[in-house]
Amino acid sequence: MPASLLPPGSPAAESSRELAADLTDRPGLPQARLLAEYVLGRRSGDLDVSGRDTEGMFIDAEAAAEVPHEILVVDDAQGLQSALLSEFVEVRTYNDRIDEARRVAEVAPNAEGVERLSDLGARVTAAAPTDRETWAVVNAPKAMNSLAETLAALQPHVSTLIVIGRSETMSRAINKELARGFARVDVSPGVGKHRMIIGSRPLSSPSLSRFPKAGRIDHPATGPLEVCAHGACFSGVKNDEGSALLLEALAAEVAAGGLTPDSVLDLGCGNGWLLSAALQVTGADTGVGVDVSRAAVASARATAEANGAVEPQATAEVAAAAEPNTVDIVLGDAAGDSDPAVTGLGPFDLILLNPPFHQGTTIETDTAEDLMRTAAAHLAEGGRVLTVFNTHLRYRDRLDTLIGPSEQLARNSKFTVIASRRG
């Protein structure tokens, strides 16, 4: 594969090298450089819409010179895309994960961050003159529903939408999704291990998805409960096997008289089904869900509303809900006590924990241990933490150390549920 989209010696290639000169070996740099080359190459007339050499083609240099006037960047995990692009074009950013949003704010101070995906497009429509051209850059998500919701939010407001990622993750499903909103879809040449899929010529009558999605999860402990999920919410509206086993164990403990909590905290609440189910099973007055994902927070709140646990007009508060039979869904870095959204909470009689153990395709347990420490810090005297995990991870010893005396409540062929008390 070529080392660059741009022809050697072109002014655009030199500009790209200068922009990245001080960023050698930084995580995320290859994709950031690829984007910078593409935009600079389009502006200079060196590249066509597909990212290929324009030699022999007619390019209106004057029309291309300032395009785009603005770029919307979605889920730039390292912030380098936003940092490089903001050196020569106006950039607005959105990250689903708030830890990544903070990183972008630090690395790319010239870019403007927004807290809701819908704000990206809305601000374009509200503030931009009609002759301004706006592009969007979307980092290839793990779930196609995430791309579908991003496309639905941005397609009406942009002339070009670029999905960027590692070549092996760029499936034909991305092409098909972009074709729902754009008349032209191009695949760029690969540079290193990365490439782009580019949608242009927006359709006037696109076939866009609607979110949040709605579904129903039926569990013996609760019967059917409504569940809602935005595109980037892990597991969507489906049941998570680990959470189902945790709820089964929780219901057994409640039935045996071993658990009578007044308050429940779900660390990493996802779509909110487990929290809503736990409140129904335990009869607790107060439930709080915390998640690092904005999509999860919105999904969990919608799930709570659908099951009558919170009024639709309610807003998330940093502290635990004061009124009985209410739910708060809080955006916060659940793995970090330094975050005010977490430090303002608790203590709780019951804490639910179904920690993630993958970072991309790599197994990692640091996040789980951070969540265990956070659970210990917010556990009331006499309370319990119920943790479910893939059995092969063998978390019981860590739970003993980080929280306190632990016992196994349930186990099947894949998952284990452990109850821990304060040491």
What are 218-262's pLDDT values in tens digits?
999 999 999 999 999 988 999 899 999 999 999 999 999 989 999
Share above pLDDT 70 across residues of the chain, in percent, rounded to a whole number: 85
Higher pLDDT, 346 or 171: 171
The domains spanning 11-202 and 213-421 adopt the same CATH topology: yes
Q: Give the span between the Cα atoms of 239 and 308, in whole angstroms.
A: 20
Looking at the predicted structure, is the pLDDT value of residue 74 above 90? Answer: yes
pLDDT on residue 8: 87
Listed by start position, the domains of the chain span 11-202, 213-421
Cβ atoms 120, 153 nearer than 8 A: yes
Cα–Cα nearest to 97, from 294, 314, 341: 294
Query: Taking the CB of residue 314, how many other CB atoms lie within 10 A of it?
Result: 17
Q: Which of 60-69, 108-117, 307-316, 384-393 has the lowest mean pLDDT?
A: 307-316
Looking at the predicted structure, is the pLDDT value of residue 79 above 80? Answer: yes
CATH architecture under which domain 11-202 falls: 3-Layer(aba) Sandwich (3.40)
Query: Omega into 224 within 30° of 0, i.e. cis?
Result: no
Q: Is 60 exposed, middle or buried (0-12, 13-18, 19+ CB in 10 A)?
A: exposed
pLDDT digits 0-9 by tens, 175-223? 999 999 999 999 999 999 999 999 999 999 999 999 999 999 999 999 9
Share above pLDDT 90 across residues of the chain, in percent, rounded to a whole number: 70
pLDDT on residue 365: 61
CATH no. for 213-421:
3.40.50.150
Looking at the predicted structure, is the pLDDT value of residue 72 above 70? Answer: yes
User: What are the contacts of 197-200 at 24+ separation with CB within 8 A?
Assistant: 197/162, 197/163, 197/170, 198/49, 198/50, 198/51, 198/160, 198/161, 198/162, 198/163, 199/160, 199/161, 199/162, 199/163, 200/49, 200/159, 200/160, 200/161
Cβ atoms 81, 31 nearer than 8 A: yes
pLDDT on residue 343: 53
pLDDT on residue 56: 62
